[in-house]
Amino acid sequence: MKKRFLLAALAIIFSAGVCDAKSPFSRIKPEPAKPTIGGDVNKKEHDKLMESFTPLGSLADDSRALYSDQNALIHRVKDIQTFLSVSANALGVLTTVDTDLQKLEVSAKALYGTAEAASAIPQAREKAQKVKTTLGATLKNITAARQRMDAIVAKTEPVRVKMAAAAERARQLELGLTGLNSVVDLIPSATVNIEACLKRLPEDKQACAKGNVEDTAIKVDSAVREYDRVVKVLIYTPDGWLPSMNFFDPFSADMRAIEKLREDIEALYARVEKLSGELAGLNAVLDRNFSFGFPYPNPTWTNPARMSTYDVSIGFRTIIQGANTIQDRIQEVLSSFLWGILKGLGVGGYVNYLIDQANNAVNALMSMVGFDAALDLPDMSPLDAFGDIEVKLMADLDGLKFPAVGADLPGFGFPGVGTGFNFGILSGSFPSACSAAAYNCN
């Protein structure tokens, strides 16, 4: 369908004629292509060779050259788009590092509080204090690093946004160029079909139609070669509208260091969270109760010798205060009758039983706590590279000039290109060229 539309459009153009193409640069004056013949060629061979250089043939050849050159330009733009997109994603790592530091700061503060609570447990006090000391220094470094990272992201995030926007403009440019090339790609086959249509015209119209077609083909070919000339300029001297893919190199190595830093920060965060959970499990013992039971006489009319067991529960916070405090607490919860019974049985044995229960519980929980976890903040020197990098990056990004390219735009949308020939007309919906075209001949 697309091929038929192009064929019809060319036929209509050839019937009506086109305006003279304008040069994209005032100093460039496109001329119709002329064959170059060298060596010893006799007149017959010369005439035969000249016949092969028809205006439609030249248009087909020049269209193929344009297609190839524009395809090279498309690949360059696509490479730049990919590079910009990847670079924008790389800069996004800075925001990720900032978020990771914020999470780490919150988690470290929570761990500090958990370690402080664990200091109330006698067996854990020394190790918990060591965690607090290490973490206190680390927390200061984390806060300083987070504040520094906040400032860096405030500067680089606008750069990342611009870079992502530039990548999108490059993507749109690639799509526009690809659309144009899809039209150019059909011209050679369309010229072949138009030649076939000419041969099917009545003999009395062929001479007129051929002349009109050739005149128009020369003008269209001039526009094609003008367009190709501009494409070559953009490929080989792109300064001012396409960036070099090397202009981000000053920080590419630094981004690898930042990625490693991010991994180290996330690993530290995981260790802090793990230790915090382990200490929270240990601290749960502070709210536990430990119990013992002792027998006491509880006679009834039917069973005057009946004995019962009385259960006593004492909290861990009381137990860690020592035997005397435990004994005083037991006396508080018992009646004078039961206290007298317990004294007779030996209060000290029951107090020691409570202490043993509590110690066993603490020891089991402490064995699951990684008190020796590394809590030092990793080296933050990779951030040094981003002190003023955004100044250069922003200037480079502001210098990107991606044009909006399209077949229906004057001069195809290329910078500095005159109105020229509008290839958009080639993609219109027209009937079959052979049946509708009169080639301006009555």
- For residues 313 and 242, state if they share a domain: no
In a domain, 442, yes or no: no
Q: Could you tell me the pTM of the whole model? A: 0.65
Which of 115, 26, 19 lies closest to 416 in space, CA to CA? 26
- For residues 177 and 297, state if they share a domain: no
- For residues 117 and 86, state if they share a domain: yes
Q: What percent of the chain has pLDDT over 90?
A: 41
| Positive/negative CA dihedral, 86, 87, 93, 98 | negative
Query: pLDDT at residue 19 above 50?
Result: no
- For residues 108 and 171, state if they share a domain: yes
Q: What percent of the chain has pLDDT over 70?
A: 72
Query: pLDDT at residue 323 above 50?
Result: yes
Query: pLDDT at residue 143 above 60?
Result: yes
Query: pLDDT at residue 361 above 90?
Result: yes
Residue 239: what pLDDT? 63
Query: pLDDT at residue 209 above 70?
Result: yes
- For residues 34 and 161, state if they share a domain: yes
- For residues 68 and 28, state if they share a domain: yes
- For residues 276 and 293, state if they share a domain: no
Residues 117, 127: Cα–Cα separation, whole Å:
12
Average pLDDT over residues 311-322: 95
- For residues 230 and 294, state if they share a domain: no
| Tokens encoding 318 | 């009381």
Among 152-156, 240-244, 289-293, the range with the most confident prediction by mean pLDDT is 289-293
Query: pLDDT at residue 189 above 90?
Result: no
In a domain, 153, yes or no: yes
pLDDT tens, 64-77? 999 999 999 899 88
In a domain, 372, yes or no: no
- Tell which of 366, 401, 422 closes a domain: 366
In a domain, 371, yes or no: no
In a domain, 259, yes or no: yes
- Tell which of 341, 366, 391 closes a domain: 366
- For residues 272 and 304, state if they share a domain: no
In a domain, 218, yes or no: yes
Mean residue pLDDT across the chain: 79
Residue 414: what pLDDT? 66
Residues 427, 1: Cα–Cα separation, whole Å:
10
pLDDT tens, 234-261? 787 766 566 555 555 555 667 788 889 9
**Structure confidence at residue 107 as a pLDDT band (50, 70, 90):** very high
- The domain total for the chain is 2
pLDDT tens, 362-404? 999 999 999 999 999 999 988 887 766 666 666 666 666 666 6
- For residues 219 and 346, state if they share a domain: no
Q: The domain containing residue 357 runs over which residues? A: 287-366
pLDDT tens, 395-424? 666 666 666 666 566 666 666 555 455 554
Half-sphere exposure of 67 (CA within 13 A, CB side): 14
For 378-381, which contacts have Cβ atoms below 8 Å and span 24 or more sequence positions? 378/261, 378/264, 378/265, 378/268, 379/261, 380/141, 380/145, 380/148, 380/261
- For residues 274 and 336, state if they share a domain: no
**Better-scored residue on pLDDT, 148 or 28:** 148
Query: pLDDT at residue 232 above 80?
Result: yes
Residue 343: what pLDDT? 94
Average pLDDT over residues 431-438: 48
- For residues 115 and 62, state if they share a domain: yes
Average pLDDT over residues 314-327: 95
Average pLDDT over residues 300-307: 89
CB 19 within 8 A of CB 425: no
Backbone phi, psi, residue 16, to 5°: -95, -20
In a domain, 33, yes or no: yes
Which of 359, 272, 347 lies closest to 312 in space, CA to CA? 347
pLDDT tens, 342-359? 999 999 999 999 999 999
Average pLDDT over residues 142-153: 92
- Tell which of 304, 337, 366 closes a domain: 366
Average pLDDT over residues 132-139: 93
**Structure confidence at residue 432 as a pLDDT band (50, 70, 90):** very low
Which of 261, 273, 263, 284 lies closest to 108 in space, CA to CA? 273
In a domain, 373, yes or no: no
